């Protein structure tokens, strides 16, 4: 009897899983939508999906796998850091990305483009692929992210809110859970937790620095960053959705005239008629942060993200 059988370690005979085959009539291509959470990645995906040749639904979070591979490749004494295995790992990752995204084919079989719209940082996973990066004012991101966390189930707070600021944030959470309209009645309270405000806008500022650096490398065509990039500001997309969605289709070499119209039903119009604090699609407005603003909040944001707000031209100076 084989040793594994005698030790009780053998599992069932492995079953080969066939890779998704490309449709014989369609040469599928892959696209990526990137951005900070609550910056509009879902909206961009929905607008893209109005075109019959685009299928952009999934959030794959490939960065977790890529980071693990990076870790293996960065340990110099391990075989995974040396050739040919280092290149084999990179090629295997790209194959995994393609095969995984291709599983979405059944949602829209005739679409040429299949996309991953994970709200994560800009990083090239497939060379030469098109990337759409959406950027939004960090103060509106803060408001949207705050409401997003407030509507979560209690156990999610332990995961999404760091332990050091959880007790103070819990007070905001309890008020919202008792009355989802509480901050509509008391807007000055929403951004009253210094630890929470500083943490979120500091993360946004760091994220923007990394994304803008990655964008510059893509535009310069640096090795490892060979991709096509279209940058969009949430505010511009909100102000002229038709023009910007046309640019997205043209970026993918598609005919804009073939796309379905924007509508409230498809959640592709700019913003929503009525604010719903309990909905994933809460409000979608530009400058929403202003109704919750106060002097203390402004100073916290200036300290944590003032330079990035100016760099991105959301402000002309620190005097706002």
Cis link prior to 84 (omega < 30° from 0)? yes
For 266, the token pair is 């498809």
DSSP character for 313?
Answer: T
Reported as a single tens digit per residue, the pLDDT across 263-290 is 988 889 877 777 777 777 778 889 999 9
d(C-alpha 204, C-alpha 141), whole Å:
8
Residue ranges for the chain with pLDDT beneath 50: 1-24
Alpha carbons within 13 A on the beta-carbon side of 158: 2
Residue of 96, 68, 98, 95 lying closest to 80 (CA atoms): 68
Contact 144, 288 (CB under 8 A): yes
Reported as a single tens digit per residue, the pLDDT across 116-169 is 999 999 999 999 999 999 999 999 999 999 999 999 999 989 999 999 999 999
For the chain, what's the residue count?
Answer: 320
Strands 228-233, 130-135: pairing kind: parallel
Whole-prediction pTM value?
A: 0.88
β-bridge partners, 99: none
């Amino acid at each position: 009897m084989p040793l594994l059988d005698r030790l009780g370690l053998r599992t069932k005979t492995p079953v080969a899983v066939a890779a998704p085959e490309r449709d014989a009539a369609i040469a599928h291509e892959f696209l990526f939508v990137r951005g900070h959470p609550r910056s509009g990645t879902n909206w961009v995906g929905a607008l893209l999906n109005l075109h019959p040749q685009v299928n952009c639904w999934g959030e794959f979070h490939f960065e977790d796998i890529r980071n693990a591979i990076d870790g293996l490749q960065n340990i110099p004494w391990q075989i995974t850091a040396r050739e040919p295995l280092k290149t084999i790992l990179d090629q295997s990752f790209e194959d995994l990305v393609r095969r995984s995204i291709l599983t979405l084919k059944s949602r829209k079989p005739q679409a040429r483009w299949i996309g991953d719209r994970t709200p994560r940082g800009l990083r090239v996973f497939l060379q030469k692929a098109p990337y759409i990066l959406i950027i939004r004012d960090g103060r509106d991101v803060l408001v949207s992210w705050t409401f997003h966390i407030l509507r979560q189930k209690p156990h999610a707070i332990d995961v999404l809110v760091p332990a050091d600021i959880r007790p103070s944030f819990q007070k905001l959470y309890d008020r919202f859970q008792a009355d989802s309209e509480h901050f509509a009645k008391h807007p000055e309270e929403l951004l009253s937790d210094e630890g929470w405000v500083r943490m979120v806008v500091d993360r946004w500022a760091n994220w923007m620095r990394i994304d803008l650096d990655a964008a510059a490398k893509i535009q310069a065509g640096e090795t490892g960053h060979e991709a096509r990039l279209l940058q969009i500001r949430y505010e511009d997309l909100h102000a002229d959705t038709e023009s910007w969605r046309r640019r997205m289709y043209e970026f993918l070499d598609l005919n804009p005239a073939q796309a379905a119209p924007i509508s409230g039903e498809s959640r592709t119009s700019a913003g929503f008629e009525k604010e719903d604090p309990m909905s994933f699609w809460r409000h979608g407005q530009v400058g929403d942060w202003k109704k919750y603003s106060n002097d203390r909040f402004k100073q916290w944001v200036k300290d944590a993200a003032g330079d990035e707000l100016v760099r991105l031209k959301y402000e002309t100076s620190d005097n706002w």
